[in-house]
Amino acid sequence: MSKPRRRKGLQINGMLLLDKPTGMSSNHALQKAKRIFQANKAGHTGSLDPLATGVLPLCFGETTKIASYFLNGDKEYSVSILLGISTDSGDSEGEVIEQKPIEVSREQIDMVLQRFKGSYSQIPPMFSAIKQNGQPLYKLARKGIEVERKGRDVTVYRLTLDNWNNQILDLTVSCSKGFYIRILATEIGEALGCGGHVIRLRRTGLGQFQLSNTVTLEYLESLATARERESLLIPSDQALTHFPEVVLPENLAAYLIRGQSIRSAASKGLVENELIRMYSDGGLFLGLGTLSEEGKIVPKRMFVSQ
């Protein structure tokens, strides 16, 4: 007896900005949204810890092709740090490893926060999805194994104290890709001499998108029709507006679609090796390309085919 054929999902393209709820992994949130849309293909960009909430871009269909390019966007967070208690993970999901009395002043806090502004190298935490020899670090951490990690160049553009009640620091952090808020909380606590860990984390911005652009899973479930749900999707090219745009004649666009590089006057002013959004003069979004050393426009990731 043959097995029943798996039902294929719908071919849906676009990006959804989800306000991820707390207590749910990014992948769990993705799978739930995928089921709501009945989509056949989906992926997320810039995952959030289960503890965290806020802006989580979900890509459907062809838009999954841009996921890796969207990860380069700067991020903004609202975070609460509980002082006096340190955990092995740097957040409230970890095991308490040390408790100390809190003896800090507002002046000390301001001085410490100043240290973490600007560019520097940050060592990723063991409780992270970064892989070493094919193994996610968090799996090693759960076994009590700690390995050496390489530092990553990161930048903190803005770090402000929003509130302080002698035990909890409420901060706003604007930072580059690859920055770990849990490490920041741990290092701030260490610098203040009392330890600390994240008890609340909300991503309020990612690239050009803000929390006000997001929807919740509950709202998605409340919509009666597929058309209503799909109206919330952002077209692929609108998620890439941080890359410069070039418009090309239809005859040249045809070469790019076939995977061939071209020369065009439209490349004037473009920066070598910088990603660009490519359109035909008929308004069709072709995909992403780059400008080579020879001055040719090279297709990188196409959204249309022959």
Query: Quick check: do 14-72+209-236 and 243-302 share a fold?
Result: no
pLDDT band at 265 (very low <50, low <70, confident <90, very high): confident
Q: What is the assigned CATH class of domain 14-72+209-236?
A: alpha beta
Q: Where are the domains of the chain?
A: 14-72+209-236, 76-199, 243-302
**Range 243-302 has CATH code 3.40.50.2000:** no
What's the pLDDT at 1?
47
List Cβ neighbours of 4 (8 Å cut-off, separation of 6 or more).
none
Say if residue 129's pLDDT is above 70.
no
CATH number at 76-199: 3.30.2350.10
Catalytic residue set: 49
d(CA 302, CA 287): 4
Global pTM reads: 0.86
d(CA 41, CA 26): 16
d(CA 275, CA 70): 12
List Cβ neighbours of 239 (8 Å cut-off, separation of 6 or more).
15, 57, 63, 66, 70
What's the pLDDT at 7?
54
- On whether the CB atoms of residues 211 and 235 are closer than 8 A, the answer is no
- On whether the CB atoms of residues 243 and 277 are closer than 8 A, the answer is yes
Per-residue pLDDT of 79-122, as tens digits, reads 999 999 999 999 999 999 999 999 999 999 999 999 999 999 98
d(CA 186, CA 88): 10
Beta bridge partners of 210: 205
Region for residue 138 given its phi and psi (left: phi exceeds 0; alpha: psi -120 to 50; beta: otherwise): alpha
Per-residue pLDDT of 206-240, as tens digits, reads 988 899 999 999 999 999 999 999 999 999 888 88
Residue 304 tokens read as: 């249309």
Sign, CA torsion 28/30/33/37: negative
- On whether the CB atoms of residues 199 and 93 are closer than 8 A, the answer is no
What's the pLDDT at 138?
61
Beta bridge partners of 153: 121
